[in-house]
Structure 1
């Protein structure tokens, strides 16, 4: 237990107390308790006052520090004037989609009430984050970092850093989130964001990170924005990539890294330059009007301010694709989770089914909508998981979204779309993007291997270019303009799981669906029972868990 305390001591003194308390948990895995109050508060990241969503008075919200297999008990008090939900992006909630924190599985917390989420970082390590999933709240804040450290008996493939620093980056609107939501509800687009934030700071109030000469620091970078891909770089310093969304990577050195919406990664940065200040630069990618924000990397014995031009970001899509394909799993590093189905290697598992998912944008009843495989998702009056559990008819229909796009993919219809797949199958999913923007997709409850990506249209022959050896396993993946990305997924987590665009305007207007990973078994080994304290709503309101 002494080793755990030393690891977490690098992060914050408050967390040491949590680790110390965990020593006294004799049965099962350690429990970490959190008590959060969600309120509106005045913030001004762009120099103008606006309403933000705060957690315990903080923007961004407090960081969750944990160790593999820790139980996280998070009591959330909703003091907003409308229902509220938090989703735990990347925390896979093994066997329990009831607390997933999206409306298809979890009832929101009513105003003035609280709910206690019970999660477990089961067999996971790495960098994750949480965010509000309902009502376009994400554009107002309510997000924060989740760091899951390795257990002390599991070696980490790099020396302990001098400090472990979260860097939350993302685009930002100075327009109130309710005004943005109202515009979407009327069927209009919300336009481009106004700035990029770094840890809640805009261009007018750049944050400072202090380094000591000669020491190495771990930066955990997460794009918590609502639509923009970002490029991250530090003047005069290299970025050594060591982890991506729970996977230790081959330790490749980059001058800059693209971080797409919803993605997380860890880099090591060594303070090996002359002692002065340097600029940390974050800018938008794949857009005509580039937004840039900076922070300061300050050497403790600095001789002067940052000087010289800031480093430019790359411009070509081909550069970004090449970088993405260069990110590979560190096969010599220990991992927290075993291979699927007891297989020796993901590249040797037989594919059960190929699913092709293609996005589209179209007008439906003269309103802007987005969808996947011809279906634009609309929320029913009852969360899908509850309707499934209580056998409530008429809420959704299995198979309401096809496994491949229709012949006319740009024609959309509205539905509470649910795709059924069988438990313990191994599927290939191809994301096809015929549009001019970068897409980013997330699958709740599962990580997946990024087997390949390329320009143009995917064909069966495209499999010849797959990486079947050391593809990175992650939970969010980008699809470049007029391109495709193929992933392999072991469907080893029973439940109703959200598959969505991380481009939040598109997600809000229908670019999502639910994957029902199904088994006839009622064994607790496959899926936990509904928690007795589950919030119930819609047609399930008067049911008993």
Structure 2
């Protein structure tokens, strides 16, 4: 970063101060981020703990709550958390990605302040810096409906959060070295359920307890690095009631595919013989499958869980079609209220004209013998200064170039560009985004700041004629979408949330090596009604980051100045 940028930012400290007050309740948290030793797969390894916990503490909030989290970084490296699925209306400053915020430096703290405005549902948080997600620092974030908003099912006897995901015995620093050297992190070593890997007949104590005759809500999130998982409960069916903040039609399933970074809520009734039962999470689309179990115990029940586990879904091409058909069975509950007291079905997305179509093709490539990933020929590189901050201070043209990536993929075998990948978008446009996956592995994508309508997933290649197959009536509004091997997915959304928003692969290896971009949505009015201005705390964090770079003489700063 040049000295002009540094001086400009210092001058802004005296003028950029805004205090937001609201009548909605506040929830305050103080989190200490530290290293610790855990052995979930029997091998001692370094983990990242929050207040000494792995997984981290759950946040239990209600719609419109203000959440204030003071994060103290006791690690030896910069650290950031993102609040996956929280829309941060008008406030991309709190998004927790390297394109919108400076990381929290070692020995410093930062206070996140955001509102879960007009939201309900099941979410989670995790770190976006380095490969920290492989070491932990993730946890559940639930947003309950306000009391005046009717919920389309009776209150459950209890509400349980289930964090499932793949896990590596290599530490996060070792995984980072592999990626920096241009190598893949490879196959995971196991599956965890709430931080533990359980084996049949070897589970010490139950994870959850149910009373006979009562119904319970399980919020299940895949917080892993790269592996799609199937979730099921021995002897019990699951009634799906919510996906990523949207009430669904209440279909009943024996098992559910939950792809990386996705969450779903199910109701489970304790209507079987009072004893123990296994909860199962198993890998999907892997040549050598992995699995883990946990025990659900009936209160006053007698007898261990049976050793025979419920069968997983089929694999290979048959399994992919099984998964696609299950996805197609998910439907929005148009008669249920959302976070506001108006019906969700009042938003007729199928009757809004598309103003822009963006077709994205993900690619895996080798550059100088090193593994890289790109979108439409551009592999994203985070600049020293977050792109949102450069844009805010009118310095974007010195720091990065907009629209390096086109709305259509380039010709095959085109040269990959390594640079910040920032797409200009028009405020309140209704856009269609096509994800076309030419690879043999499944992909999962996430868009910060928005919910979208995933109107179709199909095998093959997309063409405009495919629009006749779109579900334009009751597709579930959500914020992540899977794209199966050699398949495509189409989503639609209104860009009505001003800010700088990350669109990225949720697979850590791909995200780290360039499969991401940022969408800049600027309000022409520059009004606080459309976007909040930079808080004083954010600016202080930026200046600390810059000063730290000058004092330490960091290599990234020197490299940036030389360019």
TM-score normalised by length of structure 2: 0.89
* 1:402 partnered with 2:406: yes
| Match 1:478 to one of 464, 477, 482 | 482
**Superposed, which structure 2 residues align to 1:123-522 within 5 Å?**
123-203=118-198, 206=203, 208-315=207-314, 316-336=319-339, 344-392=347-395, 393-408=397-412, 411-522=415-526
Distance 2:509 2:122 in 1: 25
Distance 1:478 1:518 in 2: 28
RMSD: 1.8
CA contact (8 A) 1:32 1:72 kept: yes
CA contact (8 A) 1:164 1:217 kept: yes
Give the secondary structure class of the aligned counterpart of 1:58: coil
Distance 2:368 2:307 in 1: 53
Counterpart of 2:561? none
CA contact (8 A) 2:29 2:68 kept: yes
Counterpart of 2:555? none
Give the secondary structure class of the aligned counterpart of 2:504: strand
Task: Deviation per CA, 1:212-239: give whole Å up to 9, x if none.
Answer: 1111000000000010000000111001
Distance 2:175 2:543 in 1: 26
Counterpart of 1:84? 79
Deviation at 1:107, TM superposition (A): 0.4
Distance 1:480 1:454 in 2: 8
Cα 1:540/1:175, change in 2 over 3 Å: closer
Distance 1:403 1:90 in 2: 25
Cα 1:30/1:409, change in 2 over 3 Å: farther
Deviation at 1:31, TM superposition (A): 0.6
Deviation at 1:410, TM superposition (A): 6.6
Give the secondary structure class of the aligned counterpart of 1:485: strand
Distance 1:119 1:211 in 2: 34
Distance 1:539 1:34 in 2: 23
Give the secondary structure class of the aligned counterpart of 1:184: helix
Distance 2:105 2:279 in 1: 40
Deviation at 1:394, TM superposition (A): 2.4
Deviation at 1:412, TM superposition (A): 2.1
Counterpart of 1:35? 30
CA contact (8 A) 1:235 1:279 kept: yes
CA contact (8 A) 1:397 1:418 kept: yes
Deviation at 1:483, TM superposition (A): 0.4
CA contact (8 A) 2:27 2:65 kept: yes
Distance 1:70 1:81 in 2: 33
**Superposed, which structure 2 residues align to 1:97-108 within 5 Å?**
97-108=92-103
Distance 1:28 1:41 in 2: 39
TM-score normalised by length of structure 1: 0.92
Question: Number of matched residues?
Answer: 516
Distance 1:270 1:410 in 2: 55
CA contact (8 A) 2:102 2:545 kept: no
Distance 1:108 1:308 in 2: 47
CA contact (8 A) 1:260 1:478 kept: yes
Distance 1:379 1:338 in 2: 40
Counterpart of 1:536? 542
Cα 1:486/1:537, change in 2 over 3 Å: farther
Distance 1:306 1:148 in 2: 33
Deviation at 1:339, TM superposition (A): 9.3
Give the secondary structure class of the aligned counterpart of 1:461: helix
Consecutive unaligned residues of structure 2, counting only runs of 5 or more, are 1-20, 549-563
CA contact (8 A) 1:99 1:106 kept: yes
Give the secondary structure class of the aligned counterpart of 1:436: coil
Consecutive unaligned residues of structure 1, counting only runs of 5 or more, are 1-25
Counterpart of 1:67? 62
Q: Which of 1 and 2 has higher RCO (CA within 8 Å, sep 6+)?
A: 2
CA contact (8 A) 2:523 2:531 kept: no
Deviation at 1:532, TM superposition (A): 1.1
CA contact (8 A) 2:149 2:340 kept: no
Task: Deviation per CA, 1:487-511: give whole Å up to 9, x if none.
Answer: 1111111111011001110110000
Distance 2:435 2:90 in 1: 26
CA contact (8 A) 2:105 2:545 kept: no
Deviation at 1:387, TM superposition (A): 0.5
Task: Deviation per CA, 1:352-407: give whole Å up to 9, x if none.
Answer: 11111110000112210001111111111110001001122321111111111111
